[in-house]
């Protein structure tokens, strides 16, 4: 089976974070990584213990959000280094994985 090495990245934020737009713009316009997906959690809390959750009635709360993407290891390395200057420590998690077949380079 054809497979390649990738790094998967998950960035843990909240919807209310002002820089989420900026981050997505960077990922879309500059980094051009693969598989960018934004997931909204229904509840969450970090080390502060402060809850972020939703009900059907109140869908506009400050919910936890995870931005996920993946790409070649070297490319991700430099992207994480850049993001590290924008996002405070402890919010970017990444690990090695395999991907089916060979990815086409993004022009």
Q: Which residues bind its own copies (CB under 8 A)?
A: 1-2, 6, 8, 10, 12, 24, 28, 32, 34-47, 49, 51, 53, 56, 59, 64-66, 70, 77, 80-81, 83-84, 87-104, 106
Place of tokens 């089916």: 100
Q: At closest approach, how far in Å is the CB of 56 from its own copies?
A: 6
Q: At closest approach, how far in Å is the CB of 60 from its own copies?
A: 8
Among candidate residues 102, 103, 104, the one with its CA nearest the CA of residue 1? 102
CA distance linking residue 78 with residue 6, whole number of Å: 14
Give the DSSP H or E segment for 75: helix 73-83
Q: Are 105 and 13 in contact (CB under 8 A)?
A: no
Q: At closest approach, how far in Å is the CB of 17 from its own copies?
A: 14
The smaller minimum CB distance to its own copies, of residues 17 and 34, is found at 34
């Amino acid at each position: 089976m054809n497979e390649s090495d990738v790094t998967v990245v998950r960035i843990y934020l909240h919807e209310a974070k002002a820089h989420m737009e900026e981050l997505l713009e960077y990922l879309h316009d500059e980094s051009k990584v693969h598989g960018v997906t934004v997931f909204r959690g229904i509840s969450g809390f970090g080390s502060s213990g402060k809850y972020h959750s939703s009900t059907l009635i109140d869908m506009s709360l400050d919910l936890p959000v995870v931005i996920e993407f993946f790409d070649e290891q070297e490319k991700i390395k430099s992207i994480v280094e850049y993001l590290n200057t924008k996002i405070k420590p402890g919010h970017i998690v990444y690990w090695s994985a395999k991907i089916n077949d060979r990815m086409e380079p993004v022009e």
